[in-house]
Amino acid sequence: NKGCKLVGCGSAVPSLSVSNDDLAKIVDTSDEWISVRTGIRNRRVISGKENLRNLAVEAAKKALKMANFEPDDLDLILLCTSTPEDIFGDAPKVQRELGCTKSQLAHDITAACSGFVLGLFSASCYIKGGGFRNVLVIGADVVSRFVDWTDRGTCILFGDAAGAVVLQACDAKEDGLLSFDLHSDGEGARHLGAPINDNENGSVLEFPPNRSSYACIQMNGKEVFRFAVRCVPQSIESALEKAGLTASNIDWLLLHQANQRIIDAVATRLEFPPEKVISNLANYGNTSAASIPLALDEAVRSGKVKPGHTIVAAGFGAGLTWGSAVIRW
Ligand code: ACO
């Protein structure tokens, strides 16, 4: 296989909508502070029986339907998530819940807000180098389970969601994944994470070790902001160069939806006019690995993104990780 094309997308969000005013009832904040600093107005948060897997399955079913695929047409499922229901991975359970019966491969990919871009790259390698034909890539996160809901510096930012795309092997001339640029830097990990609680001082564990638990998300917002505005434009420029394109050839800029000020700063740096920038952050907040496929799905279904359009997408976040992809829809 020389190429892989995108043939379907889908998304799912929880039913409970939480506004900035709702948050102002539980932490010392205001709608004005949150909207001015972040652009976020609402976010969806799981409740009742909702969880990561059923959001992932719902998004996947919609993507399969758009692609006109049955679950057993798939030979690979990649679930990009950093908030699994099971630390050993959820992808095989999503595979079962979708109704796949052929024991096709399914596995998780952990790279926080860059997860979906890495998922696309993995799918392209599996297809172009590994003989796989039909691949489902899901980006899904339920960050609400790992947020300290008493910390106004972080709890205002995040929402839960899932998004998915279906990729199919094709001729090189129909290729929909044109180039990638991918990075990580563990030095910056201290600025953003949800680390394991025990043994944090490097102390020697007793035998038997205690059961582990994870800390809530800890973030240095200013450092993450600086990192994103510095690294994302460089990465996008490098992906564009590899594809032999410039910003003026691109129909849409689709960034991980973390903060409207980051999106605006990157768009300005790369000279993308506002009408070419996809943003749905106001409605959903930062949905981590789900944000790019969720925004893509809305843009495709609303008719903004049309067949043949070229999109440059970039993810960035914990790790630190970041990366860009040039996509043809
Ligand atoms: N409501 C009201 N006041 C607040 C709130 C809040 N929700 N949060 C912080 N403040 C206060 C602070 O206490 C501080 O008060 P002080 O001046 O009295 O000390 C003041 O507001 C300024 O706080 P900063 O943290 O300096 O505010 P900043 O302008 O940096 O904005 C923000 C914070 C919105 C988090 C910003 O830094 C940001 O968006 N950074 C990027 C982070 C990001 O995108 N993270 C997502 C993770 S990346 C990924 O996707 C995994």
Q: Is any ligand 1 atom within 6 A of the Cβ of residue 258?
A: yes
Residues of the chain with pLDDT under 50: none
ipTM passes above 0.90: yes
The predicted structure's pLDDT at residue 204? 65
Q: How far is CA 44 from CA 15, 141, 160, in A?
A: 7, 12, 6
| Exposed / middle / buried, residue 32 (Cβ in 10 Å: 0-12, 13-18, 19+) | exposed
Please confirm, yes or no, whether 113 is among the known catalytic residues: yes
Quickly count helices (H) and strands (E) in the chain: 10, 13
Encoded amino acid at 87, one letter: I
Substitution site in 21, 23, 31, 37 for ligand 1 pocket (most atoms within 8 Å of beta carbon): 37
Question: Could you tell me which residues come within 8 angstroms of residue 131 by beta carbon, excluding any fewer than 6 positions away?
Answer: 1
Residue showing tokens 């809305």: 298
Ligand 1 midpoint to CA 314 (Å): 22
Tell me how far apart the alpha carbons of residues 204 and 301 are, in angstroms, rounded to a whole number.
Answer: 54
Tell me how far apart the alpha carbons of residues 54 and 73 are, in angstroms, rounded to a whole number.
Answer: 20
Q: Is any ligand 1 atom within 6 A of the Cβ of residue 113?
A: yes
Answer for the pair 12, 58: CB distance below 8 angstroms, yes or no.
Answer: yes
| Strand positions, DSSP E, the chain | 3-12, 16-19, 42-45, 76-80, 105-109, 134-142, 160-170, 177-184, 192-193, 218-219, 252-255, 310-317, 321-328
The predicted structure's pLDDT at residue 205? 67
Q: Is any ligand 1 atom within 6 A of the Cβ of residue 194?
A: no
Query: What is the per-residue pLDDT across 43-75, written as a single tens digit (0 to 9) for each?
Result: 999 999 999 999 999 999 999 999 999 999 999
Please confirm, yes or no, whether 256 is among the known catalytic residues: yes
Tell me how far apart the alpha carbons of residues 86 and 89 are, in angstroms, rounded to a whole number.
Answer: 5
The predicted structure's pLDDT at residue 199? 58
The predicted structure's pLDDT at residue 1? 65
The predicted structure's pLDDT at residue 203? 63
For residue 261, give the ligand 1 atom closest to its CA.
39
Q: Is any ligand 1 atom within 6 A of the Cβ of residue 157?
A: yes
Residue showing tokens 């800890």: 218
Ligand 1 midpoint to CA 153 (Å): 5
Q: Which two tokens stand for residue 282?
A: 């106001």
For residue 318, give the ligand 1 atom closest to its CA.
51
Could you tell me the pTM of the whole model? 0.95
